[in-house]
Amino acid sequence: MAMGLAVAGQVAQAQSLFNVDAGPTGSPNYSGAAVLGSSGDLWNAYTGAAWAYGPHNVVTLQDSTGSSAAGVTMDCWNWETVSLNTGGATANPLNLMADYITSQASGDGWPIKVELANLPTSTAFTLVVYSAGDSGSQGATISLATDSTFSSIITSADTTGASRDITAGQGVAYQLFSGTTSASGTVDFEVANTTDWHALNGLQIQVVPEPSSLALCGGGLVLLGLFRRRLSR
């Protein structure tokens, strides 16, 4: 029974947080909490170059504790350059919001597309996408899709681009989404702006098993422990 309770406790804690700070190579990489997370959390740096007709830049992500065993990957395309704008006090947290990857050109109609893969399948997630340029016109529409073809959009929400300070609240420098990973364990989203260039400062995704599933699994383990204990008498 004790073993069943211990395993049930581990299942109850079974959630993974992956953090990504997008920006130039050599820029300070963020660590700690943002909208999600806690002090000391690890963030993955996303750098390099990948544009609409070039190779994708796929990276394997470590979770917030520094583990890479999950094999979760990030693939990003339709972007061309990276930028660093210190921005003084207007960027908060500074190392996350002061740098970003940007679209190919101003209002070029090519959204920055991202696919997160190898996540647990058909599992609830919370996603935070950070998108803020250097002026009010550089906000973005962030859209979740069913897959990387973006033939079907699930939901969309906007950032204003007016501030890179996340304490200004949702809809200014970031948007928060919730949903369920695909049957193949992917989450896809795009960042777009049809009148100005658009930026991706970073993202966080937390995958959490449904409470009902946790309860059933944990309860089943406890019952199994009781049954085995009774048989051993």
Res 172 pLDDT > 90: yes
Res 71 pLDDT > 70: yes
**Cβ neighbours around 129 below 10 Å, total:** 26
**Cβ neighbours around 194 below 10 Å, total:** 10
Q: What is the pLDDT of residue 108?
A: 56
Pick 224 or 107 by higher pLDDT: 107
| Mean pLDDT, residues 75-102 taken together | 80
H-state helical runs in the chain: 2-12, 94-97, 211-231
Q: What is the pLDDT of residue 49?
A: 56
Q: Which of 1-10, 15-24, 89-98, 116-125 has the highest mean pLDDT?
A: 116-125
Pick 105 or 166 by higher pLDDT: 166
Q: What is the pLDDT of residue 1?
A: 42
In the chain, what are the domains? Answer: 2-231 (2.60.120.430)
Report how far residue 20's alpha carbon sits from residue 221's, in angstroms, rounded to the nearest whole number.
35
* pTM of the predicted protein model: 0.83
User: pLDDT-based confidence at 109, cuts 50/70/90?
Assistant: low
| Mean pLDDT, residues 105-116 taken together | 77
CA distances from 97 to 18, 52, 201, 229 (A): 17, 24, 6, 55
Q: What is the pLDDT of residue 142?
A: 96
